[in-house]
Amino acid sequence: MARTSVKKYVYFFGAGKADGKAEMKNLLGGKGANLAEMTNLGIPVPAGFTITTEVCTRYYENNRKYRRSLPPGRCRR
């Protein structure tokens, strides 16, 4: 059975590991990509997460309201 790809909307970083990297600036925004890259370089960064620019864009398009239609599991590692 083929595996389906699930679109990821939340990227975590901290404890020396990051889901993202510098090359993902269009997806994570400048700050998110830089935090991920600093983590990957071993620079101490407090743990956190970044939502994708797509989620941010949808938030603003929906009058600054979060739509509950985001399927569960998209925020898991």
Nearest residue to 10 (alpha-carbon basis) of 64, 61, 18: 18
Diameter over CA atoms, the chain: 41
pLDDT digits (tens, 9 = 90+) for 7-40: 899 999 999 999 999 999 999 999 999 999 999 9
Give the whole-angstrom CA distance, residue 72 versus residue 47: 22
Q: Specify the pLDDT at position 13.
A: 97
Question: Is the model more confident about 54 or about 71?
Answer: 54
Q: Which residue type does 43 have?
A: I
Q: Specify the pLDDT at position 36.
A: 97
Per domain, the residue ranges of the chain are 10-61
Q: Specify the pLDDT at position 69.
A: 63
Burial class of residue 36 (count of CB atoms within 10 Å of its CB; 0-12, 13-18, 19+) = buried
